[in-house]
Amino acid sequence: MHSFLSRSNTIFAFTLSVLAALTFGCFLSTFFDANQADVILRSGKAQVKSVREMGSSGERSDLGYLTLDMKTNMNRIFNWNVKQLFLYLVAEYKTDKNPINQVVLWDRIILRGENANIDLNDISPKYYFVDDGQGLKGNDNVTLTLYWNVIPNAGILPHIGGHGQHKIRFPDEYAPSTRG
Amino acid sequence: MGLLELSCLDEVRRMDKRQLYYQFLNFAMIVSSALMIWKGLMVVTGSESPIVVVLSGSMEPAFHRGDLLFLTHDRSEPITVGEIVVFKVEGRDIPIVHRVIKLHGNEKGAHFLTKGDNNLVDDRGLYAPGQMWLTEKDVVGRARGFLPYVGMVTILMNDYPKLKYIVLATLGIFVLIHREN
């Protein structure tokens, strides 16, 4: 009963049980959090160009240009069970070809401890805003929403959409190409 | 160590045929319970792989090698952008855990593009030659839950297969020899 092996076995089993209970408690304590925040989104200078995507069958696609303003404070979402927030800005719109389109224009990782105050002005999207087709020209209902994915220390991975969407409108004509 | 072996085997020697059958039955119960739990999880989550271990660092700093992910695959709920999906490229067996960054489609089906958070480029280089998009049939599941570090055991056992056999053999022998008093 008191051999070295049985003692170390008991200690090991107890350690694992305590760790499991703590992890479960960590998960449960933040399970019902709303993780919501208000976001102020603005945009400027929306333009469309027609490009040929490499690798495709040579069809032309619409490429959207715009500048973005973003202001939000994520500090109150961080707690002991949030390891990281993955923020991503999504443009959602309908086209004739595809009723559902969701494109990530910009993303950022905020780790726990970093400054979670976002105040960006006049930035360009991080990723090309290319449509699967030519549905951006003249599209007057492209909705921008800031979402974030809460990465916990242990638990569920929710995706939350921020309060405060922004609608942009692309012009009916293509912007003049810089090349001939 | 020698004394220990003798004291364990003492119990075995004291067992009659009925006891020995009982020990084997105990062992079989443990194995089939584990199998039932695993298959049950597969049914409840709808995913063929309800628990996966993160194998690469392409999703750091969110997921590191050795972390555990819980997947569900509710086919009635459409995949949305930003979700972390686990997919298999046709012809390859390794599941990849990346995030959906572009999605186009309708209620019947969608095609989408993925990218690892820690990668600079999207996954088109990982797809099959000529494949530009993923579809629902490539998806194994969506990451819904996360547990850090626990999957390291699986990675160690895969990198050192001898370790896997030693652990399994030791556990098996222990269950067969040990008798609940």
Give contacts of B 21-50 with A, CB under 8 A.
none
Rounded to whole angstroms, the Cα distance separating A73 from A133 reads 36
Q: Which pair of structure tokens corresponds to residue B101?
A: 């960054």
Q: In this predicted model, what pLDDT tens digit does every residue of B61-119 receive, in sequence order?
A: 899 999 999 999 988 888 999 999 999 988 888 889 999 999 998 877 889 999 999 99
Q: pLDDT class for A53, splitting at 50, 70, 90?
A: confident
Q: Tokens 């707690």 sit at which residue?
A: A79
Among A84, A103, A131, select the one facing B61 at the smallest CB separation. Answer: A84
- Tell me what ipTM this predicted complex has: 0.86
Strand extents, DSSP E, chain B: 51-53, 68-72, 84-87, 96-105, 110-115, 134-135, 139-147
pTM of the predicted model, to two decimals? 0.84
The band of B157, judged by pLDDT with boundaries at 50, 70 and 90, is confident
- Can you say how many angstroms the Cα of residue A70 is from the centroid of all Cα atoms in its chain? 13
Nearest to A66 by CA among A9, A14, A105: A105
How far, in Å, CA of B175 to CA of B162, rounded? 20
Instruction: Assign B170 a pLDDT band (cuts: 50, 70, 90).
Output: confident
> What's the CA gap between A60 and A173, in Å, rounded?
15
Distance set, CA B114 to CA A9, A127, A160, B72, B138 (Å): 45, 13, 19, 18, 12
d(CA B88, CA B65): 18
What CA–CA distance (Å, rounded) separates A157 from A163? 19
With an 8 Å Cβ cutoff, the interface of chain A facing chain B consists of: 3, 5, 23, 55-56, 83-84, 86, 88, 90, 97-104, 107, 109, 111, 127, 131-133, 147, 149, 151-157, 159
Any CB–CB contact under 8 A between B117 and chain A? Answer: yes
Percent of chain B with pLDDT strictly greater than 70: 90
Instruction: Provide the residue type at A54 as one letter.
Output: M
